[in-house]
Amino acid sequence: MISLYLGLTILLIALVLFIISGVQRRASGLPGGRVIYSDTRAWGKVEKPLFDHDLGLTGKPDYLVEQSGKIIPVEVKTGRTPPAPYDSHVFQLAAYCLLVHRTTGKRPPHGIIHYPGRDFAVDYTPELEHALLDLVADIRIDEQHAEVSRSHDEAQRCHRCGFRDTCDQSLA
């Protein structure tokens, strides 16, 4: 009898997870879109990165998906799937949204971050755009200084950083 209850409980949990994943997948919009651009070499030619001269900003999303006349940038991440997107990933996606807007004239309503276990649709709100522009302005100011202080206390970030071996503020 106990094994029956256990089996039913596991079944119930699996069903709930299945429903949740379905809702999240629909919310991400990935399946319904048409992939119109990819930097995956196996898929064909690699297009030029997007570039905005005024901000001096350039970047290349993994995909651009067309949905109802809108162009949605998609960023694919490997590694651990977090419960919510990392701030750095959100800003990266926001930068792609901004670049899409400035290069095509079409403002994406959102972008998508694809982790191995979950997709997140991130709304490209005016607030997120302003936060991104503030961040870019801060970076431009920092670029003028020979020394810039570390902006975080996350050893994991330093652990994954390509400048770790030469950075005198590394936590890893």
Give the integer Cα–Cα distance in Å for 51 and 139.
17
**Whether 88 contacts 53, CB under 8 Å:** no
Binding-residue total with ligand SF4 (CB under 6 A):
9
Q: Which is nearer to ligand SF4, 127 or 153 (CB)?
A: 153
Q: How far is the CB of 165 from ligand SF4 (least distance, A)?
A: 8
Instruction: Give the separation between CA 44 and CA 90, rounded to whole angstroms.
Output: 27
By CB under 6 A, tell whether 135 contacts ligand SF4: no
- State the Cα–Cα distance between residues 100 and 5, nearest whole angstrom: 52
- What's the closest the beta carbon of residue 168 comes to ligand SF4, in angstroms? 8
State in angstroms the smallest separation of the CB of 157 from ligand SF4.
5
Return the number of the residue (5 or 163) whose C-beta is nearest ligand SF4. Answer: 163
Closest to ligand SF4 by CB, 54 vs 165, is 165
Report the half-sphere exposure of 64 (CA within 13 A, side-chain side): 23
Nearest to 125 by CA among 113, 109, 106: 109
CA angle 18, 22, 25 (to 5 degrees): 135
**Distance between CA 142 and CA 71 in Å, rounded?**
32
Which CB atom, from 58 or from 169, has the smaller least distance to ligand SF4? 169
Binding mask 141-170 for ligand SF4 (x = CB under 6 A): ---------x------xx--x-xx--x-xx
Q: Site residues (CB under 6 A) for ligand SF4?
A: 150, 157-158, 161, 163-164, 167, 169-170
